Structure 1
Amino acid sequence: MANPHTAGLYRTFVGGLGTLIVLVGLVLVPLPGPGWLIVIIGLFIISSEFHWAQRLLHFVRVNVERWTHWIMAQRLWVRWTIGAATAAFVAVIVWLTLKLTGLPGWVPDLRLFDVIGLR
Structure 2
Amino acid sequence: MLMPSPAVLRGLVEEYETLLAEETLAGAAEPSPRLRDLGYTLCVSTGTREIRGALAAARAHLATTASAPATPAAPRSDPPADRPGPATASVIALRPGGHLATPAAEAPLAAGGAAAP
Structure number with the bigger relative contact order (C-alpha 8 A, sep ≥ 6) is 2
Structure showing the higher helix proportion among its residues: 1
Q: Larger Rg: 1 or 2?
A: 1
Question: Normalised by the size of structure 2, how large is the TM-score?
Answer: 0.31
Question: Normalised by the size of structure 1, how large is the TM-score?
Answer: 0.31
